[in-house]
Amino acid sequence: MKIVEKIKEGDIRATARLITMVERRDPEAIRLIREIYPRCGRAHLIGITGPPGVGKSCMVSELVKGFRQRQRTVGVLAVDPSSPFSGGAFLGDRARMIELSGDKEVFIRSLASRGSQGGLSVAVNDAADILDVFGKDVILIETVGVGQGEVDIARLAHTVVLAMMPGCGDTLQAMKAGIMEIADIMVVNKADKPGADATVTDLLSAQHLQCSDPDEEKWAPPIIKTSATTGEGIDDLVRVICHHFEYIREHNILRKKDIERRTRQFLDILTQTIRDEFMSGLKAEKKKKKWVEKIGNLELDPYSASEQVIDLIKEAREQKKQKVRDGKPAEQEASDSAV
């Protein structure tokens, strides 16, 4: 049986193997992702983000339990910082969620950030698609926790949960202009500690400042207090997450989010492909090396250099079109033009 068919049938080993291949950028993985792609689009993608130390991993663990109580199958993609030596994830969220490993309807995987500045691994999009085809109803994506740069999660997840904790006033001030704007749900975790109510007030104030049109009908991010270590507030959080998914589906926002995600995914892959192709040529061609040296020596600015690359691509495309035209009979060319 082919690996894609195995994944569809719920084969855990095949699923884990393909995610590993994606992380390693195995060329075979690209072919398999092409097979998977048309079968995606069923799962609810939930992003869990926020600064380090707010208890995201504990919250994810409790959310898994909450969704399982609702008979939902769950996938977890926990993005960890990378080892500078092996490139692998070294925080190991799977170790912290060991109590969930006995549930066959839960799949947990740590992914290395590999230097990503947006809080996500470049393999997360593909891994989410794999878990979608694997049959998971809900996919929880926990980001690294690097602060304001984690807006990438908004381009991937249907629902973004921003976790904060009591006494994070200074952090909140720094985040207002960025990550605060992507939250669909705000959570004050560790609410059993002093200052939780004050943090809720700060979040409400931040929301008020960002509200450009109070009469506009749109989703208002609720603020929920939780304590992941005790489970307090988790049921409310699960309920609100489900409600948000229903809301975006009923208001035709879900399809828009999916289109935006796929467009961004395409642009990211295109950018990486062009970059890899250029770097491959740079190593092999002396002419390109000298051209890049001009940039380093301040003889050529990067904007002009980028324009030159685009001009070369356009020129090559026109030359290819001309060769195609020259190689066709006039009747065939006229037929093509008519189409």
The predicted-structure confidence for 121-161, as pLDDT tens digits, reads as follows 678 999 999 999 999 999 999 987 655 446 788 889 999 99
Q: What is the pLDDT of residue 119?
A: 47
Residue 96 binned pLDDT confidence (cut-offs 50, 70, 90): low
Closest CA to 93 of 67, 118, 112: 112
Q: Tell me the chain's radius of gyration from C-alpha atoms.
A: 24
Q: What is the pLDDT of residue 282?
A: 72
- 196 and 297 housed in the same domain: no
Q: What is the pLDDT of residue 86?
A: 43
- 232 and 276 housed in the same domain: no
Write a three-state SS string for 21-79. Answer: HHHCCCHHHHHHHHHHHHHCCCCEEEEEECCCCCCHHHHHHHHHHHHHHCCCCEEEEEE
- 167 and 294 housed in the same domain: no
Asked if residues 48 and 152 have their Cβ atoms less than 8 Å apart, the reply is no
How many Å apart are CA 149 and CA 160, to the nearest integer?
A: 14
Domain boundary among the residues 218, 253, 288 is at 253
- 150 and 249 housed in the same domain: yes
- 168 and 274 housed in the same domain: no
32: its two tokens: 């398999």
111-134 b/e (C-beta count within 10 Å ≥ 16 → b) = bbbbebebbbbbbbbbbbbbbbbb
Which of 77-91, 193-207, 272-286, 318-332 has the lowest average pLDDT? 77-91
Q: Which of the listed ranges 84-88, 119-123, 244-248 does the model predict with the highest average pLDDT?
A: 244-248
- 81 and 141 housed in the same domain: yes
What does pLDDT average to over the chain?
A: 82
Domain boundary among the residues 219, 253, 287 is at 253
Domain that holds residue 26: 3-253
Domain boundary among the residues 222, 253, 284 is at 253
Residue 156 belongs to a domain with what CATH number?
3.40.50.300
Please state the pTM of the whole predicted model.
0.83
Q: Tell me which H or E stretch contains 187.
A: strand 185-188
283: its two tokens: 């190593």
Confidence check: pLDDT of 84 > 70 = no
Write a three-state SS string for 189-225. Answer: CCCCCCCHHHHHHHHHHHHHHHCCCCCCCCCCCCEEE
Q: What is the pLDDT of residue 316?
A: 83
For the chain, helix, strand, coil in percent to 5 are 55, 10, 30
Q: What is the pLDDT of residue 339?
A: 36
Q: What is the pLDDT of residue 212?
A: 53
Closest CA to 75 of 25, 24, 154, 10: 10
Number of domains in the chain: 2
- 89 and 139 housed in the same domain: yes
In the β-sheet with 185-188, what is the strand arrangement from edge to edge?
Answer: 106-112, 74-80, 138-142, 44-49, 159-164, 185-188, 223-225
| Residue pLDDT, tens place only, 287-308 | 777 888 889 899 999 999 889 8
Stretch 47-71: mean pLDDT: 92
Q: Which residues contact 121 (CB under 8 A, 6 or more apart)?
A: 23, 79, 111, 112, 113, 114, 127
- 276 and 231 housed in the same domain: no
Asked if residues 93 and 57 have their Cβ atoms less than 8 Å apart, the reply is yes
- 182 and 312 housed in the same domain: no
Stretch 205-214: mean pLDDT: 63
Which of 65-74, 79-88, 214-223, 279-288 has the lowest average pLDDT? 79-88
- 273 and 249 housed in the same domain: no
- 103 and 156 housed in the same domain: yes
- 284 and 239 housed in the same domain: no
Which of 27-31, 96-100, 173-177 has the lowest average pLDDT? 173-177
